[in-house]
Structure 1
Amino acid sequence: MSVARVFEATEVAELSALADRASAADGVAPFADDLFPAARDGATTAALSVRAGDRLVGAAYAAAQGDRLAAELVVDPAYRRQGLGGALLADLLDFVTGELWLWSHADHPGAVALARRYGLERARELLQLRRRVAPGSLPEPRLPDGVRLRPFEPGRDEAAWLEVNNAAFAWHPEQGGQTLDDIRSAETSPDFDPAGFLLAVDADDRLLGFHWTKVHAHDPNPGPGGVDEPIGEVYVLGVAPDAHGRGLGGALTVAGLRYLADVAGVRTVTLYVEGDNTAAVRLYEREGFTRHAVDVAYRRDA
């Protein structure tokens, strides 16, 4: 086993191929979109790899995720049940000191057993909810009086969005504390679509809430027997704290779904929500979302 701070440049392509093999077997991607770039770009604090001859058959890494240090681990489907997962986790826990959050995507039973063996606490559940949509099937959003929707304008709306987002998600370990560099970096991503980044503003153009949608060319988590097709995402939906209680959350949800169905042309929409965020879960369930999967974070305390 190789243990280092970052992956070698030659290993990055192998790591992506390994993740693809695991995803094809499990119906779920082993790495998160917001964490894997650290492994790809050399921004990790730990990078572990296991080889069988010339083939990369196991890997784990740790990197900053918001204000926490998080980790992910994967073993080639053809090399499972040989102790590789346990060996990777043991070496990762030895190499990384202090508090560590380890993700299990789709709550894999192997991760449950490993967490129990190493005394890790099941500390966070991130629900993935989904619903089907069709063109013309969604009603007009019912906006409060004096409120209108308009698209996000790069170069104009960053500061206002940061203020509302960071106030709405002050409690959130990843979404809270966004910076100007973060939003500008997001604007350079191929999946950034300002037309699908909807802002709710008042008569003075003051930002009250937003619905940032995305479209992915391929479904990263189709599940066993799932269909590989483009999928829409409720990426982030937030309402300014002083605008709560006016029905903006529901109106923004409908507006984003209408955009994804009628303009972007997707037929399935997904979103992630904290399992203990009861109000948000109820809002999305009222809009027809049901549970598709759950990601679990296990914690080792400092």
Structure 2
Amino acid sequence: MAATFTPAEIAEVTALADRARASDGVAPFSDDLFPAARSGETTVALTVHADADSGSGGGALTGAAYAARQGDRLAAELVVDPARRRRGLGGALLAELLAAAPGELWLWSHGDHPAAAALARRHGLVRARELLQLRRRIAPGALPEPRLPDGVRLRPFQPGRDEAAWLEVNNAAFSWHPEQGGQTLDDIRSAEAAPDFDPAGFLLAVDADDRVLGFHWTKVHPHDPNPGRDTLSSRGRESNGPGGSADEPLGEVYVLGVAPAAHGRGLGGALTTAGLRYLADVAGVRTVTLYVEGDNTAAVRLYEREGFTRHAVDVAYRRD
């Protein structure tokens, strides 16, 4: 057992995750947690090789698991090579992971795979959180102008100027959220340094005094990381469903928040429309995805009114 993966292991683990995604239609590792593995910020890093039983080492990587901080919690992800499943590797990895990370641990199952649910039950883990992935198709010129309250306008985020104001609104809006709440200046600066950061698609709703009332932070992914099995089976063909094509860019409602003092003014709907218009008319994407807590009824209703439907669900299990 190690605390971190070596650079060579990271390459192997990434290739293993790609094989699992191609087979399952969903990535086994999240964009939110796996960067900790790449940067060596894990607390546990486990690997299993094809010839592990022989003790000779050096065989092909067949399974991997790791744990890292995710907001205020320790979270973990696990993957087994699709060609080596149903041989007890997943159970062995999970048992070793639970032994190596005592105390509170949240284990993610992306796509809510039935095998993961059965594995969790066998190890005494309970279903603790559901993260819904919703999607909709969009087209250029098809979305209306956002209906903003009087005295409110939209402008793009300005790096070097808006960090503190955004942090204040974000942390107030998501004070209840284990990952999005409690963001720091280092967090937003790290996000600004990422290659997918686009300030033009990071929209702020401000009042006449330029105070930030809400925001819609959008992203564009070059390819769909979680197309689903149906989309993978039609790779290369245009899809009319909410999944789109696996090879086309994918827009994301990355974070959308409204300051508590500005609730009840229709800003959430206006910001949603404004971000979708940007993704359709400027970024040129045709499918948009977002993640929302399954028990956040108000947000789910808002997005359903905007035409989003369920695409997938990620589940977090934890010790009972």
TM range, smaller chain: over 0.9
Corresponding residue of 2:32: 34
What does residue 263 of structure 1 align with? 282
The one of 290, 298, 308 equivalent to 1:279 is: 298
Any residues of structure 2 matched to 1:240-255 within 5 Å, and which? 240-255=259-274
TM-score between the two structures when normalised by the length of structure 1: 0.98
Instruction: Decide which of 79, 95, 112 is 1:90's aligned counterpart.
Output: 95
Of the three residues 182, 186, 189, the one matched with 2:187 is 182
Aligned to 1:48: 46
What is aligned with 1:142? 147
Aligned partner of 1:234 among 238, 246, 253: 253
SS in structure 2 of the partner of residue 107 of structure 1 = coil
Distance between the aligned counterparts of 1:204 and 1:41, measured in 2?
Answer: 40
Counterparts of 1:33-182 in structure 2 under 5 Å? 33-53=31-51, 54-182=59-187
> Which among 209, 220, 230 is matched to residue 215 of structure 1?
220
Offset, 1:17? 0.2
Aligned to 2:8: 10
Moved more, 184-193 or 219-228: 219-228
Partner of 2:202: 197
Query: Displacement, 1:52?
Result: 1.0
CA separation in 1, counterparts of 2:169 and 2:133? 24
- Shift of residue 225, structure 1, vs aligned partner: 3.4
1:53-91 per-residue CA deviation (whole Å, 9 max, x = no partner) reads 421110000000000000000000000010000000011
| Ranges in structure 2 where 5+ consecutive residues have no aligned partner | 52-58, 232-244
Displacement, 1:37?
Answer: 0.8
Amino acid of the residue matched to residue 225 of structure 1? D
| Residue aligned with 2:108, SS | strand
Q: Equivalent residue of 1:232, what SS?
A: strand
* Amino acid across the alignment from 1:196: G
2:180 is paired with a residue whose SS is coil
Q: Please tell me the residue identity of whatever aligns with 1:110.
A: A
Which whole-Å CA distance do the structure 2 matches of 1:206 and 1:37 have between them? 33
What secondary structure sits across from 1:155 in the alignment? coil
The 3-state SS of whatever aligns with 2:132 is: strand
Which stretches of structure 1, 4 residues or more, deviate above 2 A after TM superposition? none
Mapped partners of 1:67, 1:48: distance in 2: 22
Matched residue SS, 1:45: strand
Instruction: Report how far residue 170 of structure 1 moved.
Output: 0.2
The alignment's TM-score, normalised by the length of structure 2, stands at: 0.93
Q: Percent identity?
A: 83
CA separation in 1, counterparts of 2:6 and 2:133?
A: 33
Provide structure 1 residue ranges, at least 5 long, that are not aligned to the other structure: none
RMSD: 0.7
Kindly tell me the number of residue pairs found equivalent between the two proteins.
299
